[in-house]
Amino acid sequence: MANICNLEQLSNMTGGDISTMKEFVKMYLTDTPQLILKIRNANSNQSYVGEESVAWCCHKIAPQLSYMGISSGYDLAKSVEARLKELSAGYPELNDELAQLNDICMQSYRELNDFMNSNPG
């Protein structure tokens, strides 16, 4: 399976400083699970718009996905956010899309964890 993360942008941002990149990755690994968790809760509470809602969390997670070069995840998060702003009561494909987003994040964790392990120190 091809990697979904592309750390080229992050490398640019950090001037190729691995330790800084690791900091960001570590932050990503810390933050996004919280957001995924929030998305899950919000979805189960049918909280689609407003603070701490699915759309809100997608809004939050989208840039981070982008910084990790996860374009598919970014697009998906933005798409969910945009559609929920139009369809505040949700829509049929939402669960599948969130599951997909979850899978993308899980995959990114594996890849980024490898990155962390392969760059000790």
Partner 1 sequence: MLYLLLLCSSVVWAQGTIQLKSENIFQKNGLGSVQVNAIAQDKFGFLWLGTMNGLYKYDGYTLQLFKTNHEGKPLLSSYIANLFFDSKNNLWILNDENGLNRYNILNDKLDQFVSDKKNENTIANNHVVQIVEDKNGNYWLATNDGLDKLEINTDSKGNETLLVTHFKSESENSGSLPGMRINTIFPSGNAVWCGTDAGLCEIDINTNNISRHTEIQIGEDKNSNITCIAEDKTHNVWIGTSSNGIWMLNKSLTGQPVFTQIIKATDLSNSFVSSLLFDNNFNLWIGTKGGGAIKYNLISQKAEDIADETTGGKRINALFRDVTGVIWMAHENGMNKVLDKKQFSNLEFANAPFNFKDNVYVYAVLEDMQGNVWMGTEKEGLYKYNPQTKQVIHYSVQSQPPYKLMSNDVYALAENKFMIYIGTASGLNVVNKLTGACIQLPDQLYPMNINSISMDSKGDIWMGLMDYGICKLDYLTWQCTFYQDNEKTKSALNANNDVKSILCGKDNLLYLATDSGLKVFNTVTKTFKRYRSVPDNPLTISSNRVTAMYQDSDGKLWVTTNNGGFNLFNPQSEEFTRIHCPYMNENTEVYSILPDSKNNLWLSTKIGIVKYEKFSNNFVLFDKTDGTISKEFNAGAFHKNKRGDIYYGGINGITIFNPDSISTFTGDFKMAFNKVQASNRIIPFEFNEKGEQIITLSPDDYSFSIDFTALNFIAPEKIQYAYKLEGFDKDWVSTGNRHFTIYNNLTPGVYHFKFKASMGEGDWKESPTDLLIIIKPPFYKTWWFLALISIIMITSAYTIIRLRMMRINEQKKKEVEMQSIKMKHQFLANMSHEIRTPMNSVIGFTTLLQGTPMNDEQKNYLNAIQSQAENLLVIINDILDFAKIDSGKIELHKEPVLMQKILDKVYATLYLKAQEKGLYFVIEKLSDVPNTIFTDEVRMYQILTNLLNNAIKFTEKGTVGLQIIKVEDHESNVKLEFKIFDTGIGIPQDKLPIIFDLFTQVNMDSAKKFGGTGLGLSITRQLVQLHGGTITVESEEKQGTTFHVIIPFEKVAQKVEPKKEMLPPIQPPTNGQTIVSKAIEAASIEAVEKVESKHRPHILLAEDNTFNQMLAKTVINKYLPNTDLTIANNGIEVMKHLNNGSVYDIILMDVQMPEMDGFETTRTIRKSDNAKYNVIPIIACTAGVTPPEVEECYTSGMDDFLAKPFQPNDLVNKINYHLNHIKSNQTKQ
Q: Is 15 left (phi over 0), alpha (psi -120 to 50) or beta?
A: left
Per DSSP, the residues of 31-96 read: HHHHHHHHHHHHHHTT--SSTTSHHHHHHHHHHHHHHTT-HHHHHHHHHHHHHHHH-TT--TTHHH
Contacting partner 1 within 73-92 (CB under 8 A): 74, 78, 82
Question: Does the protein bind partner 1 through residue 8 (CB under 8 A)?
Answer: no
The residue (of 9 and 93) whose beta carbon lies closer to partner 1 is: 9
Question: Does the protein bind partner 1 through residue 95 (CB under 8 A)?
Answer: no
Cα–Cα distance between 102 and 45 in angstroms, integer?
Answer: 17
User: How near is the Cβ of 106 to partner 1 at its closest, in Å?
Assistant: 5
Interface residue list for partner 1 (CB under 8 A): 9, 12-15, 20, 23-24, 26-31, 33, 37, 40-42, 45, 47, 51-52, 56, 59-60, 62-64, 66-67, 74, 78, 82, 106, 109-110, 113, 116
